[in-house]
Structure 1
């Protein structure tokens, strides 16, 4: 769907150089459309993709896995064509493993039976199935659903097994909290099944996930992307046409201004939540504001711990923490957000853990030395090994306190759903309005099935790029500008 060289090209501004923005730019270049500029607030591209060299390995501060290693995944295809995926493909799954060990706060190691995993997986499937039930039966939050069902299932175990079974299932439910970055009481039970997992397991890029941006940036001229351009205000609509003769103006914090026919907005839902009222002139319509307010935005903090001499056998450091219901009921400590501790792939000396929800923001504010001390105390307590050393280096992520992101990724909060994601993705003016759209919205939060993923972000950027290209073909160039006198 190439743009004819005989047509004048409209002016397009892309706000944000994450996967959505870069994917849109790639689509434009492939279709011979060149009159666009990406305004990126950061000094680097990639958005919530950021690989970093630490010790003996690459660590992923942001996106870590290709969620679904198959040809149905546009990120997987991009990585394959770029030669970023080794052969044979290594795939990680959440399936039961005989090597998995849970540790309790009283220093016991529990070797779980396959039955606990199968029981928990059955509860998860039941929660996801709520999405297919009539809307009136989908009420409630995920914590209540899991608590009720877990208690029902635990009572099926012999009495002497119930204590350990409860702890294992609580540990697994804590993992869901880490996955979505929010307390389960704020996640919609009825919308839990709206997220779609692609087949193929989790696939890692050994050279770093940031490598996925290379093919997106390769053919992008320097003049098409401007870094350190934080957007301060987006003016759009009829009043602007009448006063300035342009459909939209993007003003950066440094005073730089860009006129545009179309603006593609890819900034995070977290930033929209905080700044939507002062970012847009005129303000967004109520249905769009409601979508932004009601959709959830999670907080996940990763911590990487480097040891001079590893105290674990290679490949044997993975452990899960089996908290009791009473222990995690009181969320007064960021350590209670830890569900598992893993070795960083390809590293012999780095461990990593993640904390999701309110504790993630608390953890971000902690000093690295305090984190090292608290984590070591926790490890010694759960493993019963008082000789575990302190790490020599600690690195934490700061997505929630970074004003360019203000969190990690979206989820369906209680009271929100697929309809709100579609409202968020709709252009302004709408497709049924007499005037052609000016503002387009992309980013993982606008994807109704694959939100929170890298491929969801890429798909959204391609979707909106195609929308703009279709408008260019419709008008055979820029859209008409209608003033009051015309």
Structure 2
């Protein structure tokens, strides 16, 4: 295998470091390494034509829409993404206010401004608030099994359903009213599937659920686009660090690859045949991609224990569907529209084919700030229904959602949306989903194991392959701040190797 690294690597001493993946984890690692004099040869190999990974903003409908990450979760001093956005002037006064930073949301999504039922009527917001209070109190309870010897049931979903089942018996209402309550709760289950990036809460492990850490602060968006954060990181790198359109095929490690009189332990082979020798490689690719390429991406293969973690850990799909309207059908000041399907219940274990019922998994719509004359709703949908939605044409999605909105508003003449824009994260070849969760059968220890560098025997060969990305952060998995911190963590690991004066931060 002939090396082609020499045509892009500057000559001279110092370790060569390759970062695989130009998302926020890879960019964070590269920025920190480039800022240290011991690392003059850093390259980021990005499979696509753009940096940012799962952070991606686009201009559409006359404004900025988020294709990837939407909110800064927990925008406060402990959040490095918030600090980065604030430092570069990407946030407004409201987002930066002390008051916003101190709000404790518990990581829960706010209640809707309007709630529509599938029969065409409005749902009482008082009833929605009552069910929301019940659901989120039970969800908070489900975080309390972290340190018990054995969780009562394997999954968060089972725990919630058992608790709800007990409460239904004590509800004084007639059957129809009970059904409506359960239908509202079903919507909250679907919202939580979007938050957790899973098809069903039955797939999310109960024991480790409380390990995820919620930072204080009212979740906020970046007015000019979330990608402004990663653009700032790219701008801070030396000009030749980023290499675009370079998908990696195989990482050959624990080897001996000669080039220009030097021998390297790692060789990164790209899809186009190009090869880059290196002393260290920081792998920041999404877990979904790793799952799909597990058998071919590493040579020799990952140790069995690590490979098993990749297979077992959860990685799901959460997509967005943007709809543009000539005129709003929702009331002024409305921020969030909920959809309640009266024939659904979290207590019924039915699994209809997604093609028949995919729209029922759509949790509702968030109202985007008006772009001039454009009025835009953003719907969220997770799981297998979300993946099925990706296989449809824009026309089919538009038709389905037009029917849906006419049905729930009770207005058969409701004008169809002007246009639709949706995300397709499961179809994206270098992502294959949205973000990770701790699946039944896995724990926080598995996340730590995924983050461990290779080879495990560091006395003979130190830190050849390192791992970063949101799925490798034990308490902030699924978040951009978890991804950024993981990139910094691996950069610091390398810096500590070359610079004994540096103290590795405690996890």
Partner residue in 2 for 1:260: 278
Q: For residues 111-150 of structure 1, what are the alpha-carbon distances to aligned partners after superposition, in whole Å with 9 as ceiling and x for unaligned?
A: 233432221111101111122322x225412222221112
Match of 2:239 in 1: 222
Q: Map 1:20-419; keep pairs closer than 5 Å.
A: 20-32=25-37, 33-89=39-95, 94=108, 100-113=113-126, 114-134=129-149, 136-137=150-151, 139-160=153-174, 161-182=177-198, 183-238=200-255, 245-316=263-334, 318-323=336-341, 324-325=344-345, 329-332=350-353, 333-347=357-371, 348-419=374-445
Query: 2:47 & 2:227 partners in 1: Cα distance?
Result: 18
Q: 1:95 to 1:185 in 2, by over 3 A?
A: closer
Aligned in 2, Cα 1:290/1:96: closer, same or farther, shift over 3 Å? closer
Label 1:138 to 1:210 Cα distance change in 2 as closer, same or farther (>3 A): farther
Partner deviation per Cα, 1:206-250 (whole Å, 9 max, x = no partner) = 000000013211231231110000001111104658999321101
How far off its partner does 1:54 sit? 1.2
Report the counterpart of residue 4 of structure 2 in structure 1. none
Aligned pair in 2 of structure 1 residues 40, 96: CA closer, same or farther (>3 Å)? closer
Cα distance in 2 between the residues matched to 1:354 and 1:163? 24
Q: Give CA deviations for 1:365-409 in whole Å, capped at 9, x if unaligned.
A: 111111111111111222222222111111111111111111110
Alpha-carbon distance between aligned partners in 2 of 1:337 and 1:38, rounded to the nearest angstrom? 38
Measured against aligned partners, the alpha-carbon deviations of 1:285-307 in whole angstroms (never above 9, x if no partner) come to: 01110110110001112111111
**Structure 1 residue matching 2:94: 3-state secondary structure:** coil
**Deviation of residue 96 (structure 1)?**
5.7
Given that 1:372 and 1:394 are in contact with CA atoms closer than 8 Å, whether structure 2 keeps it comes out as: yes
- Secondary structure at the aligned position of 2:160 is classed as helix
Distance in 1 between the 2:335 and 2:397 partners?
19
For 1:334 and 1:96, locate their aligned partners in 2 and report how far apart those are by CA, in whole Å. Answer: 24
Is the alpha carbon distance of 1:181 and 1:197 closer, same or farther for their aligned partners in structure 2, counting shifts above 3 Å? same
Distance 2:370 2:230 in 1: 22
- Secondary structure, counterpart of 2:277 in structure 1: strand
TM-score by length of 2: 0.87
Of the structure 1 ranges 152-161 and 44-53, higher mean CA displacement relative to structure 2 is found in 152-161
Instruction: Say if 2:282 and 2:490, in contact at 8 Å, map to a contact too.
Output: yes
Find the aligned partners of 2:109 and 2:64 in 1 and give their Cα distance: 25
**2:34 and 2:42 in contact (8 A); partners too:** no
- Structure 1, unmatched stretches of 5+, are 1-6, 477-486
1 CA distance for matches of 2:125 and 2:257? 64
Secondary structure of the 1:67 match is coil
Alpha carbons of structure 1 residues 288 and 403: separation in structure 2 relative to 1, 3 Å: same
Residue in 2 aligned with 1:482? none
Q: CA deviation at 1:432?
A: 5.2
- Residue aligned with 2:125, SS: coil
